[in-house]
Amino acid sequence: DIVVTQSPDSLAVSLGERATINCKSSQSVLYSSNNKNYLGWYQQKPGQPPKLIIYWASTRESGVPDRFSGSGSGTDFSLTISSLQAEDVAVYYCQQYYTAPYFFGQGTKLEIK
């Protein structure tokens, strides 16, 4: 099984500042035949289902603001919000979809400082 672990568990950032969340997989999720990292990021606001914001580790989903970016390869990944807005308060999850079972990270709660 490929387990993913996020850090930190919670994060408080001032409006307009940068927020970075890390995700580490227990094995590489880079598929050599297509050079894609099978890693996604989701945003979940209270009372709502999760929303996909980044896939292939660094591709923004349609409609997602460009202040959101994903980076990393192999086993180490990051989600960065370049300038935090009030509407970005949420819990963020990474997920590996390289192979079943498709583990999610434990979540990072992002708040305003």
Partner 1 sequence: EVQLVESGGGLVQPGGSLRLACAASGFTFNQYWMHWVRQAPGKGLEWIARVNGDGYTTSYADSVKGRFTIARDNARNTVNLQMNSLRVEDTAVYYCVRPQTGAAYAFDIWGQGTMVTVSS
Question: Where do contacts with partner 1 occur on this chain (CB under 8 A)?
Answer: 38, 40, 42, 44, 49-52, 55-56, 61, 93, 95, 97-107
Nearer to partner 1, 17 or 111 (CB): 111
Q: CA 80 to CA 106: how far, in whole Å?
A: 17
**At its nearest, how many Å lie between partner 1 and the CB of residue 106?**
5
Least Å distance between CB 14 and partner 1? 26
Whichever of 40 and 88 has its CB closer to partner 1, that residue is 40
Contact 111, 9 (CB under 8 A): no
Nearest CA-CA partner of 67 in 52, 53, 46: 53
**Separation CA 82–CA 52 (nearest Å):** 18
